[in-house]
Amino acid sequence: MRKSSIVRLTAAVLLFGALWIVHGQFGNAPAKLTTVKVKDDLYVIHNDFVPGNTTALITSEGVVLVDDKFEIDHAGIMAELKKITDKPIKYVVNTHHHADHSGGNAQMQKMDAQIIASEEARQNMVDSKQPGVPNVTFEHHAHIYLGGKHVELYHFGRAHTNGDVVVYFPADRTLAAGDMFTFGDATPELIDYSGGGSGKEWTKTLDGALQLDFDTVVPGHGVVTNKREMAKFRDSTQTLRNRVHEMLGQKKSRADIAQMLQKEFHWQQLHIDRGLDGAMAEMQ
């Protein structure tokens, strides 16, 4: 069987169950949220790890939100937003389909917010029968104009999933990267093959995002950081790919490769369960 066929088979077997692994482990109680000011009009609703970061651009006509965490976190998000604005949420951009980034969609739609995602992310939500499927999708590049402010959306290719989107705030020189970039040893690279992710293509996808002109980065998980750290993460994706390929060439066992990924790249059991078989098939 060809490598590409093995990868597709792995994804098909996992698709209908894998999405909710993270929800089963987390998402059972509201996260403790804090709001971090990035710029005068840009804030991050943050928590230590899961669910993912939520970014809020405040304008005179309403709010552009990037990711809305689990459904159980909706009230917490709204409480944090009320501390900084009385404007309604107009748009919610999902950086990808996972429930820790899109689980609040249905609640946001009840408030008349438009949900935007890549076409691939929307299809993953449809396939997984998630509530709150996006109203608006795009393929490569889109714009939001609200209250005199401008937001750019980009889909550069496969990485964490096949639908990863980055959200660029050019006036603030800030990028919301979703799980295409996570920051810190507690948040290593997770290749979700069931969601169309690719460890092999991840580096090239990050190269596209890094061409944008920004200084500050809101990672999918972890504290707000900078472009230099995102570039270092990009290099780590290439190193990981090369290490797996090297060990496969040396006929190392699955257990050996898993041990290497845990030691050198801080992979946890979730990462092994979700990504190792796909990586071994893809990176031969």
Give the pLDDT of residue 184. 82
Specify which residues 142 forms β-bridges with.
Answer: 153
Q: Which domain holds residue 269?
A: 3-282
Q: In what order do the strands lie in the sheet with 149-154?
A: 141-146, 149-154, 166-169, 174-178, 216-219, 225-226
Q: Which pLDDT score is estimated for 27?
A: 64
Q: Band the pLDDT of 185: cuts 50, 70, 90.
A: low
pLDDT at 180 over 60: yes
- 3-state SS string over 83-118? CCCCCCEEEEECCCCCHHHHCCHHHHHHCCCEEEEE
* Residue 54 backbone dihedrals phi, psi, to 5 degrees: -115, 125
CATH of the domain at 139: 3.60.15.10
- What average pLDDT is seen over the chain? 90
pLDDT tens sequence across 40-89 = 999 999 997 778 899 999 999 999 999 999 999 999 999 999 999 999 99
**d(Cα 179, Cα 186) in Å, to the nearest integer?**
13
The answer to whether 205 touches 234, Cβ cutoff 8 Å, is no
Confidence of residue 188 (pLDDT cuts 50, 70, 90): confident
- Residue 26: pLDDT band (50, 70, 90) is low
pTM: 0.90
The span from the CA of 162 to the CA of 95, in Å, is 11
CB-based contact 18:194 (threshold 8 Å): yes
Q: pLDDT tens across 138-160, in order?
A: 999 999 999 999 999 999 999 99
88's CB contacts (< 8 A; 6+ apart) are 62, 63, 111, 112, 113
**Rounded CA separation 53/36 (Å):** 10
CB 39, CB 174: distance < 8 Å:
yes
Give the chain's domain count.
1
* pLDDT tens digits, one per residue of 270-279: 889 989 999 9
User: What whole-number distance in Å separates Cα of residue 118 and Cα of residue 174?
Assistant: 20
Please tell me the least confidently modeled range out of 1-10, 82-91, 265-274. Answer: 1-10
Length of the chain: 284
* The amino acid at 265: F
